[in-house]
Structure 1
Amino acid sequence: MRRDIQPNEQAFSTKEVAEKVGIATPTVRKYGQILEQNGYEFLKDGDRRIFVHSDIEVLIALRDTDKSLDDTAKDLVEQQRERLVESIETKMAITNTYESLPQDPNQLKEVLMFLANELAATREMNVQLTNDMLELKTKVSRLQQDHHIISSTIGNSAQKTNAKIEKLTEQQKNHYETLLQQEKQKSELLQKEIQNMRGEQKKEWSLQNDFNKRLEEAIQKPKEKWGGLFSIFRK
């Protein structure tokens, strides 16, 4: 288990580490797998790795190595083990210090004042973290509300647009049908007019033929009957 991490030390996601180290996110995962295969320990949230500053330095060393990745990973794992041993020794030394508290009341008072100040600072930090969490939750809630409003607005706008398109399409369809009906009526009227004109023309042709026949018959009669020629114009 990691014992070299300081309280309240900043943690980073895989994406943030990729940006800081200057490598791709899949490369961060690849380096993490190589390190773990050689015994390196990461903080974990389930299966997800959580990185701290010392992990970033390790990834940079792995990125810039001239040796094979496995050999470099082994060296880095050994360095981590040394840090863990130093951390354990430091904690043991601190424990021994608490067990050998000074007997002098003044010195003991100073130690207690120091501890009280550290406790107050820790409490203040916890309050700040709580406030930050509440503020973060509020921002997330607002973002969710904004997302809901934007989604609703987009949905309503799309519905209105579709309704307008359907209305315009229906209007164009009705207008086209009206024009088509009008053209049909005009065509029918034109056909009737043409038929009437043809009837009138046939009638004129019939009268003309009748006149031509009577004229021809009158011309073929004897001269004494020329008076009948003029009678055809009186008919």
Structure 2
Amino acid sequence: MKEEDFTIIEMEDILKTKEIADMTGLAQSTVRKYAQELEKAGYTFKKDETGRYYTKEDVIIFTQLKDIRDKAGIKVEHAADVVVTQYKRTTQNMSPSKVPTEMENQAIQIQQTKQYIQKLEEALQQQQEMISKLEERLERQEKHQDLRDESLTQVLREVAETKKMLAASKERKWYEFWK
């Protein structure tokens, strides 16, 4: 095989943002945003002096990211983490001769999505428990404040009564003044 033939094959595998967008059904701006999030999560794209370019493998990554976002309804950052983690696991466990099929990729993706959803549910349960504890504490504080308010009101009434009694005892009748 000549070097020219190798270059032609490589050029055919290079995809632009618009092509990725067309293949995945995403907007071009969304493809760029997803690419940035995937890079933050540790995925590397091929780059040249003009910027990123994509391969057919990247199409699968974008499709998985889109599917996770659609099915699980999670943020792009979290979905990118799931996809990159899944990608790293499959590439580490994969022998060069065994390329995962789409079904295997989807099964792995579903499993990881289930694990992520389970973690979210656990976090939600912990938050609900914390909320109920805080509600109980707030209730106790409100009862304490009500008792304090009642005590204060009672003391104020007693003080007012005492003042009246003092005023009444000190008050002299005008005719007693001359005595």
Give TM class, smaller chain: 0.3 to 0.5
Q: TM-score, normalised by structure 1?
A: 0.36
Could you say which structure has the greater relative contact order, defined with CA pairs below 8 angstroms and 6 or more residues apart? 2
Structure 2 length-normalised TM: 0.44
